[in-house]
Amino acid sequence: MTQFTKSIDADGVATLTWDTPGKSMNVMNMEGFQELDALIDDVLADDAVKGVILTSGKEGSFAGGMDLNIIARMKESAGDNPAKGLFDGIMATHKILRKLERGGMDDKNKGGKPIVAALPGTALGIGLEIPLACHYIIAADNPKAKIGLPEIMVGIFPGMGGTTRLSWKLGAMGASPLLLEGKLNDPKKAKAAGVVDEVVAPEELLTRAREWVLSEPKIVKPWDEKGYKIPGGEPYHPAGFMTFVGASAMVNGNTKGVYPAAKALLSSVYEGMQVPFDTALRIEARWFVNVLMNPSSAAMIRSLFINKEALEKGANRPDVADQKVRKVGVIGAGMMGAGIALVSAQAGIEVVLIDQKQEAADKGKSYSESYLDKGIARKKTTPEKKEEVLSRITATTDYAALKGCDLVVEAVFEDVGVKAAVTREVLAAVGPECIFATNTSTLPISELAKASDNPEQFIGIHFFSPVEKMMLVEIIKGEKTGDVAVAKALDYVRQIRKTPIVVNDARFFYANRCIIPYINEGIRMVKEGVEPALVENAAKLVGMPLGPLQLVDETSIDLGVKIAKATRAAMGDAYPDGAVDEVLFWMADEGRLGRKSNAGFYTYDEKGKRGLLWEGLEAKYPVDDEQPDLSEVQHRLLFAQVLEAVRALEEGVLEDIREGDVGAILGWGFAPWSGGPFSWLDILGAERAVELTEALTAKFGDRFATPGLLREIAASGGSFYDRFGTGADAKAA
């Protein structure tokens, strides 16, 4: 398959056009590299060629990056000695780009041909690393284009020369937001940051590139000349030293040492700046291999990119006709309903937002207004766009306005009776095609569906708070939910650009089922006399974004009390969390309800800024002199969640481990470095997981009992992903 084509004009300007067949944006793969390599040899050897333009045949973009499917499998496909195989493969790529960069010059930097990258727009990852190896970069002024190196966001770093070239070009300080945060810029900002050299009107891109090639420009890169000083100073220069001390502290503060890529990136820059350029590229390659050999990078790419995208594209969608939503009814204009109305209207869907009183409905709509006003202030949206979005939302108390809705989402009080009454009232107002969804977080869908004559058209669509920020939506099938309802929910989630998982009905569905035991384990440890700061830091040091005590402060302690009471009522004597409730109920009695009351496990100042852990906690639950090991606390906190995920799979609540992993990271921030609970178990190894759960059970009780499925996988010597696959066949048998 041809991905690059060559043409040469009368003045000897060769144009290499990258155009991956069948893709809307170019992505690089092994064949692409081979083609590019051969074409570079060709144009450099051809006396008729004076200079080269490297561009793309895609409108509005140069390239989206490396095919991540290839990166995810790089280690497996690198042979018996994968580290060596990877290193050799990466160095072969460096050689191609270095050849491009040298442009045919001799050792004395004489001769050679100018090579310009002409970017019609978006240039990401390898799509920017290749231009960085060219002699000049011109980008079309396309404000929607994104230019940058986002590799760090998926657990790797730019390892095809981008790390070295950008840090040598801009200095460690200048390159740091682009490399360490994966910051993307539009072309003008990329020019201001020094990433591209020139921005021109789109229609002038190729003319200007041609002009530059024919202008006899200087092509030697500064680092190939004697005496080059990297901007901002090298590591032993006083300024450079300051930068690296700060960057190292920042990286460790942000990553808590659990993301291997950020540290490897920094090491690559630090070590690379102390040696000649070609050695720096070898160092970059070695650190890149180090990251690729770490199972975390493949797990992150698999969950955060490949599987997330597969779920968004409908991997588990029933095969029924398009169910795109045209008009949605949202009942209950409280915190959740207001957010659901906003994201729906933003997606171009007409919204009817209903509450009991007109003021309440209006207040729900005004949430969208203030959200959009903030967007205008931050230049994320425009007054026209705001008006357009708001004009789609009708705030009313009149159920007759629901006529024509093809989906209604109910977000009224968490009460079976209230929800049943609302369901009946809605169904009397809408047509027979309309799908009814509930946003309940705790009530069984099959129970709520009894209020409908048509339980096949009844489904759970569970959003997380705040709706506009949280990317996961949990779709819950009741016993009788039909395929059309599932497809409707999935098509809706796609329209509002979120990531869906589809689970079966069971107490707390999937996400809350796993997160509640995490919070409870943290609180239980406080009761036992474990230092609260140890609990919180242990969680963060294993990659959880919030410790369990901070998390319950955020979600509110009275909600915890409410859930505990309802769970106890439902479970009776089997209820296992009495020790947790003692602490939780006492906190609620003390009026410490969490962030919302400016007092919880943490202290808060009058502006609501979180301070230290509350000292009163220690007075009530004294801290033991002897404290457990960090790893024991971490294992308790992680297994509390992970075992629930395995049980959800065993019980058929989860049908696909990809959903279990992606849902855990997006829904409650489960240690993203691990790729999710199932990936974490695979990294740990099932046998080791069995050993650990047996030890935890002996010491702390049956909540850590080893699930049969885990034992089975350990006995077979396999892993969850071996057993349940990674593609369309990932469904649990």
560 binds ligand NAD (CB under 6 A): no
From residue 402, alpha-carbon distances to 108, 336, 377, 434, 460 in Å are 76, 19, 33, 10, 19
Residue window 335-354: x/- pattern of binding to ligand NAD, with contact defined by CB under 6 A: xxx----------------x
331 binds ligand NAD (CB under 6 A): yes
Asked if 724 and 641 touch (Cβ cutoff 8 Å), the reply is no
Give the three-state DSSP class for 390: helix
Instruction: Report in angstroms how near the CB of residue 176 gets to ligand NAD at its nearest.
Output: 36
Instruction: Report in angstroms how near the CB of residue 377 gets to ligand NAD at its nearest.
Output: 25
332 binds ligand NAD (CB under 6 A): yes
Piece of 57-65, 325-333, 608-616, 649-657 that binds ligand NAD (CB under 6 A)? 325-333
Crossing angle, helix 511-528 and helix 630-650, to 10 degrees? 150
If the CB atoms of residues 306 and 511 are measured against ligand NAD, the closer one turns out to be 511
Size of the site for ligand NAD (CB under 6 A): 23
Query: Tokens 């009471």 sit at which residue?
Result: 565
Backbone angles phi, psi at 431, to 5 degrees: -80, 170
Q: Which residue of the set 94, 135, 237, 462 is catalytic?
A: 462
Burial track 603-616 (b if 16+ CB lie within 10 A, e otherwise): bbeeeeeeeebbee
If the CB atoms of residues 365 and 703 are measured against ligand NAD, the closer one turns out to be 365
356 binds ligand NAD (CB under 6 A): yes
Asked if 5 and 36 touch (Cβ cutoff 8 Å), the reply is no
Beta strands in 349-485 (DSSP E): 350-354, 393-396, 407-410, 435-438, 458-463, 472-477
Give the three-state DSSP class for 556: coil
Pull the structure tokens for residue 712. Answer: 């089975």
If the CB atoms of residues 305 and 463 are measured against ligand NAD, the closer one turns out to be 463
449 binds ligand NAD (CB under 6 A): no
H-assigned helices in 412-471: 416-429, 445-448
Instruction: Report in angstroms how near the CB of residue 14 gets to ligand NAD at its nearest.
Output: 58
By CB under 6 A, name the one of 334, 375, 718, 725 that touches ligand NAD: 334
By CB under 6 A, name the one of 254, 465, 627, 631 that touches ligand NAD: 465
Piece of 97-105, 326-334, 567-575, 684-692 that binds ligand NAD (CB under 6 A)? 326-334
Instruction: Report in angstroms how near the CB of residue 308 gets to ligand NAD at its nearest.
Output: 21
N-to-C CA span, the chain: 38
462 is catalytic: yes
Asked if 336 and 439 touch (Cβ cutoff 8 Å), the reply is yes
546 binds ligand NAD (CB under 6 A): no
| Rounded Cα gap, residues 232 and 230, in angstroms | 6
Site for ligand NAD in 429-448 (CB under 6 A): 439-441
Query: Tokens 């009844």 sit at which residue?
Result: 458
461 binds ligand NAD (CB under 6 A): no
Piece of 64-72, 95-103, 245-253, 355-363 that binds ligand NAD (CB under 6 A)? 355-363
593 binds ligand NAD (CB under 6 A): no
Torsion, Cα 357 360 364 366, to 10 degrees, reads 110
By CB under 6 A, name the one of 360, 516, 642, 648 that touches ligand NAD: 360
Give the three-state DSSP class for 301: helix
463 binds ligand NAD (CB under 6 A): yes
Piece of 59-67, 281-289, 301-309, 327-335 that binds ligand NAD (CB under 6 A)? 327-335
Instruction: Report in angstroms how near the CB of residue 364 gets to ligand NAD at its nearest.
Output: 7
If the CB atoms of residues 332 and 522 are measured against ligand NAD, the closer one turns out to be 332
Q: Tell me, what DSSP letter sits at residue 52? A: E
Asked if 427 and 396 touch (Cβ cutoff 8 Å), the reply is no
Asked if 360 and 353 touch (Cβ cutoff 8 Å), the reply is no
- Please give the distance of CA 81 from its chain centroid, rounded to a whole number: 31
669 binds ligand NAD (CB under 6 A): no
Beta strands in 161-305 (DSSP E): 198-200
Residue window 375-414: x/- pattern of binding to ligand NAD, with contact defined by CB under 6 A: ------------------------------------xxxx
428 binds ligand NAD (CB under 6 A): no
477, β-bridge pairs: 504
Residue among 437, 430, 425, 415 at smallest CA distance from 337: 437
If the CB atoms of residues 154 and 563 are measured against ligand NAD, the closer one turns out to be 563
Give the residue nearest to ligand NAD (CB).
334
333 binds ligand NAD (CB under 6 A): yes
84, β-bridge pairs: none
If the CB atoms of residues 15 and 396 are measured against ligand NAD, the closer one turns out to be 396
Pull the structure tokens for residue 258. Answer: 């659990």
Site for ligand NAD in 683-712 (CB under 6 A): none
Q: What is the rounded radius of gyration, in angstroms, for the C-alpha atoms of the chain?
A: 28
* Footprint of ligand NAD (CB under 6 A): 331-337, 354-356, 360, 411-414, 418, 422, 439-441, 462-463, 465
Tell me which residues are annotated as active site.
Answer: 462
